[in-house]
Chain A
Amino acid sequence: MDLSLGEDQLTLRAAFADFFDKESTVERVRAAEPLGFDQELWIKLAGTGAIAMGLPEDVGGGGASNLDLVLVAEQYGRRIAPVPFIEAAAAGHVLAAAGAVDLLGGVADGSTLPTIALSPARDGRLRLVPAGAVADIVVALDGDRLIAIRRQGDQPGARPHVESSPNFASSPLADWRLDDGDLIELASGPQAVRLYQDGVSLWQLLMAAALGGLRSAALELGVSYVKARKAFGVIIGSFQAIQHRLADVVVAGDGAQLLVYEAAWARDAGQPEAAALASMAFLFGADCAFRTARECLQFHGGYGFTLEYDIQLYFRRAKAWPLALGDSRREYQRLADLVYPKPETTGKTATSRKLRSRDGLLRRRQARRVSSGCA
């Protein structure tokens, strides 16, 4: 076991820390609201090679590891950059894995922006697709088909293509219809589901990393505020009530970061538990990021909920970024199925129907008691 970062990784992290510090300033982040997209930053980011860095070299990518992507995503999250880096990386990964090389044209230089719909299509619609308002291609699951929809006739650089759905994080979320562009089937059957789930899993991993970066920046804001603000003649950071809460989020955050790195390592090493770890990293990371942002917002007192102070920018995203995937309780249930062997269910629909009837439920309980010998 060796949990240190290598020389190359430290360099990579420092380079992207610099990039986002310089290019994604608070002023730029604020200026990009409410849409949450900065075209100029997007093109600049493409110029660093970041968007295609995780793709295989034979399709024009950088062949970077998942850990490399995680390090970039952390810096991206730290400066809450108004560009869909994570969505493009996950969608690009699925397109490459499905062999759709022609759809990857223009992805590396930022002229084509791909994204991934995090919920399968329903009634011909994809709801609240992250980066949906600015994307040119959306990768999605429709039944057991993995599809890509390519929007036609849009002028490059004329983003957004459609209006975004107003949301708490200022993210360019938008609905797509399956007939919003050319529909290309990439795969079908179990293979399609597998490719899609792997894409969502990568999104979870990178989102966990981004939330980790967000958390550390929110914490910096909180700490610098409690060290400056005075009450009762002393800085408020000298109060134990504040120190304990800060210590709690730091400890939890350290754990969250380790979990993200472990999940990235597991993906790189082809470990069977990679998907479960990505899900854990996402859930724990989301939880820690929101708790940290919430505490640090509260330390700001009344200023915390004014728009002037920057902590609100982090608070809103910590709450809303993870929601793109839907209800976390559903994700916890899915994680339970990944981590523990599935319960033996026979005739699930028949069972549910029986469960709905009170009499059926009681009968079932009775039968169980008798059969398990503890009546």
Chain B
Amino acid sequence: MDFSEDDRLAEYRQDARDWVAEYVDPQWAEQQRVSGSYHTPELHSLVAGQGWLGAGWPAEYGGTANDPDMAAALFEEIDAAGLHMDGWATTKMISQTLLHAATEEQKREFIGGALRGEIVIVLGYTEPDSGSDVAAAKTRSERDGEEWLINGQKMFTSTAHRGTHVFMLTRSNTEVPKHKGLTTFLVPLGSPGVEIRPIYTLGGQRTNATFYSDVRVPDSARIGPVDGGWGVMHVALVFERSGTGGGRRSGPTLSERVATWAQPGCPAPRARPRSCSAPRARSVSTGTCWTSSAPRRCSAGRRATRRWLPRSRRRSVAEWSALSTAAPRRSCGRSSPSACSACPVPVRRADQP
């Protein structure tokens, strides 16, 4: 048994940091924070243009000769610079799904486009009346000759306002049990009849409600068999839930910042936040172990489940709870610690929603 963190990407980190210093515009992170849109088209084109999106993908579908480890290090550094790449995250999931579920022609068209940065795919599973019960989707798809007509509504279609396609779960058959009447499509967001309305959320992130009225797509937009959408979803959800990475944050964790802040220099009681932070440090440590054990469990034949969240998510849960438990009832006269120069805990981290 060995818990030492071996950094597979150690040799790439400096190059990756240099890359970020050279190419990444420091304003992008601030723009993401202010707009709540976690996809920066300039960044996406930049990364795609240099071939980093295609690193490690099969050459026949647009894979590039770029080193996949360097690409991984690069994405982590971009993440550490406070930049989200949500558009790539969903595009990647669906491209991986397409590798398993799409026709040869679709793979060439969609995966190739995605790796060149021309196609950004967002997710269309959740509806106003169904979330976890994903197979209860009501959005209708009806055959009309060589085409399909799609009518309905999807919720939380994040990044739709900046994407090109939505990967959509629809009900193609109402006569059979719910899992057997589903079909998936890759619908161009520019199609007539698609409407995107913003939804703003508590943490600042913008997501969308999307509406589809008589949206017409060719049969070539259908992914997988007619009424065989549930099988496609099986693949897609595994890729969605088994993602790890994006976790290597630089700088102190939030619990460390709370502990530092709770020291003299800020007129607030300090014993309580410090000892309250201790269990959070504990949960961060546990979370790290959990994340590390996930691939082992998966390879041991256990299915990836929601339990094995990516490290970034886990840390933020632990750390946000640290902030809420540890925040003292009063600090100085100012309304929030971040407004006081003696209280260095930011209320909101650049890399958090």
Which residues of A (328-354) have their CB < 8 Å from a CB of B? Answer: 329, 332-333, 335-337, 339-341, 343-345
CB neighbours of A1 from chain B (8 A) = 2-6, 292
B293 on the A face (CB < 8 A): yes
A255 on the B face (CB < 8 A): yes
Q: Which of B263, B266, B278, B340 has the most CB of A within 10 A?
A: B278
Chain A's closest residue to B300 (CB) is A4
CB neighbours of A340 from chain B (8 A) = 256, 259-260, 274, 277-278, 281
Q: Given A261-B3, A373-B341, A373-B342, A3 and B290 touching (CB < 8 A)?
A: no
Total A-B residue pairs with C-beta atoms closer than 8 Å?
122
Assess whether B271 is in contact with A283, with CB atoms less than 8 Å apart: no
Q: A326 to B2, alpha carbons, bound, how many Å?
A: 32
Q: A196 to B286, alpha carbons, bound, how many Å?
A: 27
Assess whether B341 is in contact with A3, with CB atoms less than 8 Å apart: no
Assess whether B341 is in contact with A284, with CB atoms less than 8 Å apart: no
Assess whether A374 is in contact with B275, with CB atoms less than 8 Å apart: no
B347 on the A face (CB < 8 A): no
Which residues of B (51-82) have their CB < 8 Å from a CB of A? Answer: none
Chain A's closest residue to B277 (CB) is A336
* Complex interface: stretch among A136-144, A209-217, A262-270: A262-270
Assess whether B333 is in contact with A369, with CB atoms less than 8 Å apart: yes
Assess whether A333 is in contact with B285, with CB atoms less than 8 Å apart: no
CB neighbours of B329 from chain A (8 A) = none
Partner of A368, one of B256, B262, B267, B341: B267
Q: Which of A9, A262, A280, A339 has the most CB of B within 10 A?
A: A339
Q: A254 to B266, alpha carbons, bound, how many Å?
A: 38
Assess whether A339 is in contact with B275, with CB atoms less than 8 Å apart: no
Assess whether B290 is in contact with A255, with CB atoms less than 8 Å apart: yes
B334 on the A face (CB < 8 A): yes
Assess whether B279 is in contact with A266, with CB atoms less than 8 Å apart: no
Q: A340 to B276, alpha carbons, bound, how many Å?
A: 12
Assess whether B286 is in contact with A259, with CB atoms less than 8 Å apart: yes
Assess whether B274 is in contact with A3, with CB atoms less than 8 Å apart: no
Assess whether B278 is in contact with A335, with CB atoms less than 8 Å apart: yes
What 1/0 flags go to A276-295 for Cβ under 8 Å of B? 01001001100000000000
- Output the least CB separation between B307 and chain A (Å): 6
B1 on the A face (CB < 8 A): yes
Partner of A258, one of B274, B286, B341: B286
CB neighbours of A284 from chain B (8 A) = 279, 282-283, 286
What 1/0 flags go to B226-254 for Cβ under 8 Å of A? 00000000000000000000000000000
Q: A5 to B2, alpha carbons, bound, how many Å?
A: 9
Q: A269 to B260, alpha carbons, bound, how many Å?
A: 28
A152 on the B face (CB < 8 A): no
Chain B's closest residue to A6 (CB) is B1
Assess whether B266 is in contact with A372, with CB atoms less than 8 Å apart: yes
Chain A's closest residue to B6 (CB) is A1
Chain B's closest residue to A338 (CB) is B278
Chain B's closest residue to A65 (CB) is B1
Assess whether B260 is in contact with A374, with CB atoms less than 8 Å apart: no
B264 on the A face (CB < 8 A): yes
- Output the least CB separation between A234 and chain B (Å): 22
Assess whether B285 is in contact with A266, with CB atoms less than 8 Å apart: no
B289 on the A face (CB < 8 A): yes
B296 on the A face (CB < 8 A): yes
Assess whether B292 is in contact with A343, with CB atoms less than 8 Å apart: no
Assess whether B275 is in contact with A333, with CB atoms less than 8 Å apart: yes
A245 on the B face (CB < 8 A): no
Assess whether B275 is in contact with A336, with CB atoms less than 8 Å apart: yes
Chain A's closest residue to B262 (CB) is A343
Q: Given A329-B275, A333-B271, A374-B341, A369 and B332 touching (CB < 8 A)?
A: yes
List of 3 A-B pairs having minimum Cβ-Cβ separation, nearest first: A372-B342, A340-B259, A258-B289
Binding site for B on A (CB under 8 A): 1-6, 9, 67, 251, 254-256, 258-259, 261-262, 264-266, 269, 277, 280, 283-284, 329, 332-333, 335-337, 339-341, 343-345, 365, 368-369, 372-375
